[in-house]
Amino acid sequence: MAGLGVSEVDVVQATALRRALHRAPEVSGDEARTAEMMAGRMRALGAEVVTGLGGHGVAAVFGAGARCLMVRCELDALPIVETGRPEWRSGVTGVAHLCGHDGHMAILDAVAAVLARQAPGCRVVLLFQPAEETGAGAAAVLADPRWQALGVEMAVSLHNMPGLPLGAVALQSGPVNCASRGLRIALEGRTAHASQPEAGRSPALALARLIPALGALSRDLPTQDAGFRLATVTHARLGEATFGVAPGRAEINVTLRTLLDGQMAALEAEARALVAEASEGFDVTITVHEAFGHCVNAPEAVALLESAIDGMQRVDSGLPMRASEDFGRFGAAVPSAMFLLGAGETCPALHNPDYDFPDDLIAIGAGVFLRAIAAFAAQG
């Protein structure tokens, strides 16, 4: 693949695709149309395509040989109302690509266009993964029997990162994304007439105690510290919006974060103990949602990416991210590494309602992956 790069036509086509994807976003688990679009595009470029992988996942296979490198992106958008007004803004009420997964797919489209012209000296799997935002997609892909048949030996990915200079790269071995999980805590008491609250059993005081107590589980430490932990109350509700009924039910959602998976069990146990203490006398139900494992970059996969980013602007900030990433699940199966690609210092943050992926990153990101593919193939 020496001397072959992303052409202007590749970038124009990938940009048009990115904007079409942005107009028609789909949330985690519902990415059927997005998957169909990407599968059709990959078939048109001559790839062997596997669909329905772990849900709506699409794997596009280029090249031949025993060795196989996977490059991964994500299909899903977010349930957030877009307030930005680009010409290609979301046409789906309450759903938008506000994390840049549309741009990540466009980057892989540009990679595929190059691989279609000149086959790599190895097999390359371009994975369009479902349900990243909920933490369910990677595990579902790995559980699909067809995953093993792909024969992936190593995996790489990227995430755009607002706040870092446009096109700059952050890459390191070790932890790059925190483990996290959401706990939904429901307290059941007994409603009563608002004039006779003593006739019921209100969880109001228990809720009022739990909100600060759960937040106090956090430790004010740098993210890279092994003892880092964060508990964020994201939702609380007491009774119904009435004036005549004393509440009989409360609900609170809290997201727990630790640097590594090994610290999560202790943090969750402490949270559950607080709930038990504060909610004595109530029926309590705790359910776990959106559980993400940590994401740890393997040295050998980092070395591959290092060879691909040689000469690019490097930054030390941004890693490890407090945010979680479903890509970490692949690290339990094969050596894996993710790098951050700067989206600009003034770009709105990920998940902000006015965020929009910078199209300038399409050629830059595709170039990194193509160089990584060439280096992987050269390893024999």
| pLDDT-wise least confident of 206-220, 232-246, 313-327 | 313-327
Adjacent-strand bridge partners of 177: 295, 321
Same domain for 14 and 162, yes or no, is yes
pLDDT band at residue 299, thresholds of 50, 70 and 90? very high
Answer yes or no: do 173 and 39 share one domain. yes
- For residue 133, pLDDT over 70 is answered with yes
Quote the CA–CA distance of 213 and 274 in Å, as a whole number. 7
Percentage of the chain beyond pLDDT 90 is: 98
**Whether residue 203 sits in one domain with residue 126:** no
Answer yes or no: is 3 within a domain: no
b/e burial code for range 189-215 (CB count within 10 A of at least 16 → b): bebbeeeeeeebbbbeebbeebeebbe
Q: Give the pLDDT of residue 317.
A: 81
Domain-located, residue 135: yes
The per-residue pLDDT for range 141-181, each reduced to its tens digit, is 999 999 999 999 999 999 999 999 999 999 999 999 999 99
pLDDT at residue number 164: 96
Answer whether residue 298 is part of any domain: yes
How many structural domains does the chain have? 2
User: Are residues 221 and 365 located together in one domain of the fold?
Assistant: no
Does residue 122 form part of some domain? yes
Q: Which of 57, 368, 305, 327 is nearest to 178 (CA)?
A: 327
What pLDDT does 200 receive?
97
Q: Is 260 within a domain? A: yes
Angle between helices 32-44 and 101-117 in degrees, nearest 10: 20
Given a cut of 60, is residue 105 above it in pLDDT? yes
Cα-trace Rg, the chain: 23
Residue 207 φ/ψ region, left for φ over 0, alpha for ψ in the -120 to 50 degree band, beta for the rest: alpha
Kindly indicate the confidence band of residue 318, based on its pLDDT and cuts at 50, 70 and 90.
Answer: confident
pLDDT given for residue 3 in this prediction: 46
At residue 4, the pLDDT reads: 61
Which pLDDT band holds residue 380 (cuts at 50, 70, 90)? confident
Q: Is the pLDDT of residue 23 over 80?
A: yes
Owning domain of residue 239: 179-292
Q: Which of 274, 292, 310 corresponds to the end of one domain?
A: 292
Same domain membership, residue 276 and residue 311 = no
What residues have CB less than 8 Å from 152, skipping those under 6 apart? 68, 69, 70, 125, 333, 334
Q: pLDDT digit string (tens) for 183-224? A: 999 999 999 999 999 999 999 999 999 999 999 999 999 999
Q: Are residues 168 and 34 in the same domain?
A: yes
pLDDT score of 79: 97
Answer with the one of 264, 292, 320 that is the final residue of a domain: 292
Residues 6+ apart with CB under 8 A from 145: none
State the CATH number of the domain containing residue 259.
3.30.70.360
Better-scored residue on pLDDT, 78 or 380: 78
Is residue 168 domain-resident?
Answer: yes
Query: Quick check: is 340 in a domain?
Result: yes
Same domain, 162 and 47: yes
pTM of the model: 0.94
Structural domain contains residue 2: no
Say if residue 64 is in the same domain as residue 111.
Answer: yes
Token representation of residue 28: 């985690």
On whether both 252 and 357 belong to a single domain, the answer is: no
The dihedral built from the CA positions of residue 339, 344, 345 and 348, taken in this order, carries a sign that is negative
pLDDT digits (tens, 9 = 90+) for 50-72: 999 999 999 999 999 999 999 99
Task: Please report, for the domain that includes residue 353, its CATH number.
Answer: 3.40.630.10
Asked if residues 28 and 120 have their Cβ atoms less than 8 Å apart, the reply is no
Tell whether 119 and 169 lie within a shared domain: yes
**CA of 273: how far to CAs of 50, 217, 233, 257, 290, in Å?**
45, 11, 16, 17, 21
Q: Which amino acid is at 52?
A: G
- For residue 206, the model assigns a pLDDT of 97
End of a domain among 252, 275, 292? 292
Select from 292, 319, 339, 337 the least CA-distant residue to 224: 319
What's the mean pLDDT when you consider all of the chain? 96
The share of the chain scoring above pLDDT 70, in percent, equals: 99
Any idea which residue has 């990938």 for tokens? Answer: 14
Cβ–Cβ < 8 Å for 282, 217: no
Residue 2 banded pLDDT, cuts 50, 70, 90: very low
Are 108 and 245 members of one domain? no
**The predicted structure's pLDDT at residue 5:** 86
In this structure, the strands spanning 249-258 and 229-238 are antiparallel
229 and 127 housed in the same domain: no
Report whether pLDDT(104) > 60.
yes
CA contacts within 13 A on the Cβ side of 57: 24
Mean pLDDT of 277-303: 96
